[in-house]
Amino acid sequence: TLQRKRDPEDHVRYVAKQRVPNVETYNERMADFKDWYIEEIYTSLEKLYKLYLELANQEEIVEKRSREEVDDILQRIHGLEI
């Protein structure tokens, strides 16, 4: 979506969740990779997928703002008064 394109961190988290949404999927993929790839490639994939799993499990930081802060931001950006 457009929002993901604006925030690279959200996009990275989205991709990580697509690749490894949970520990079970991680374990399944690692078992499959072990059968398919030579040790050197498997080790690299294991590092990559551990990173995906870590990113997918990170809490999304949501910044809360008061109504006054939002009004002030909108006024500065658009010259709007609410």
Residue 82 has what pLDDT?
52
- 60 φ, ψ to 5°? -80, 130
Query: What pTM was computed for the model?
Result: 0.61
Cα–Cα distance for residue pair 33/35, rounded to 1 Å = 5
Say yes or no to pLDDT of 1 above 50.
Answer: no
Span 35-78, pLDDT tens digits: 999 999 999 999 999 999 998 888 766 667 777 877 787 777 77
Cα–Cα distance for residue pair 44/42, rounded to 1 Å = 5
**3-class state of residue 31 by DSSP:** helix
State how far the alpha carbon of 68 is from the alpha carbons of 54, 74, 75, 79, in Å.
36, 10, 10, 15
Span 7-18, pLDDT tens digits: 777 888 888 898
